[in-house]
Amino acid sequence: MAVLATVYGIANTLDLPARQSFVVQIVGKNDLINAIALNSAVFNGARVVGPAVAGLLVARYGVAIAFLLNGLSFLGVIAALLAIHNEGEARPRAGDSLGQEILQGLRYAWETPLIVLILAFMLVTSLFIVNFGVVVPLVAREVLHEGAHGFGLLMASLGVGALAGAGALALVGRGRAPVWLLAGAALIDAVGLMVLGLVRHFWVAAALLGVMGFAMIVFMASSNTTLQVTVPDALRGRLMGLYAFVFVGMNPLGALFIGSVAEKWGVPAACIVGGGMGAVCLAGLTLGLGRRAAEPPPT
């Protein structure tokens, strides 16, 4: 399992920045904003809907069928990628070494308050808040005393909220999101996680997870869109690499943290501690960097 997880992580390291940066090559700049929002909504929505479907499959047919169907679903993705005809536009090298180019991307991110704030927001949420793959099954089993079917329904509620958030963004999303929207959506998830630690009724938990799924997609998709439309074209790949690092790369550490707290003090305490720490960090970042991040970024 550890070897498989390592291989999976390496594959994501190569795939995610390239996939995110490739959107502009497919749709062109005129439709970039809508395409990024749709791509981000689908990506984050799938991370929620997938475990929900898996939970229902495991409850009815067993674990092996869920893994088999998940593996077969990638054939459709591969076929779709093979059907795309795009030569790409290789960026001319400026003579810098790979290390210098990486430092150039890091320097731009560090010198742009909006980028720093978005990446910091995503780091906090990834570490403390959006560990649904760990939190929801623990809540379902240890707190609500549900099996795989109940877990699947809880994740489905999260997925319904995520799809609703994606639809709302498609209707009203227009380019770079304001800082208050990013901070507000992330804080809703943080407070929701704290409340989840106090809930003892199944359908109340399901409704709460629906709200959290809505806020999660609004935050993730808006962060992704704002990041991509802010950075220069030449730096997009490197900045999306940072995006992948703080969003995907740090999430396992967050899962370890939440799991450790749950094992030592219980699942409700893990929810309250994770949500509380996330809320405090988000509030501090907003107060400390929010005003500077709202200023127009450098071109």
Q: What is the pLDDT of residues 80-120, one digit of tens each?
A: 888 887 666 666 665 566 677 778 778 888 888 889 899 99
Residue 23: inside a domain: yes
- Categorise residue 96: left if φ over 0, alpha if ψ from -120 to 50, beta otherwise: beta
Residue type, 106: L
Q: Give the residue ranges of DSSP H helices in 87-201.
A: 98-111, 113-124, 132-138, 148-172, 179-196
CA distance 268 to 28: 47
| Structural domain boundaries, residue 252 | 2-84+101-293
Q: For residue 136, tell me if it sits in a domain.
A: yes
> Tens digits of per-residue pLDDT, 230-242?
888 778 778 888 8
Quick one: DSSP state of residue 62? -
281 within 8 A of 124, measured Cβ to Cβ: yes
Residue 213 within a domain: yes
93 in any annotated domain: no
- Is residue 116 assigned to a domain? yes
Return the structure tokens found at 166. Answer: 């994606």
Mapped onto helix, strand or coil, the DSSP state of residue 116 is helix
User: Does 89 fall in a domain?
Assistant: no
Using the predicted structure, report yes or no on whether residue 284 has a pLDDT greater than 90: yes
Whether 248 is in a domain gets the answer yes
Q: What is the CATH number of the domain that holds 196?
A: 1.20.1250.20
Which pLDDT score is estimated for 174? 61
pLDDT of 44 higher than 70 = no
DSSP for residue 178: P
Domain presence at residue 96? no
Q: Given this model, what pLDDT does residue 232 score?
A: 81
- Which of 11-20, 169-178, 209-218 shows the lowest per-residue confidence on average (mean pLDDT)? 169-178
Total number of domains in the chain: 1
Q: How far apart (Å, rounded) are the C-alpha atoms in residues 62 and 67?
A: 9
Per-chain mean pLDDT for the chain:
83
pLDDT tens for 146-185 read 887 888 888 888 888 888 887 787 777 666 778 888 999 9
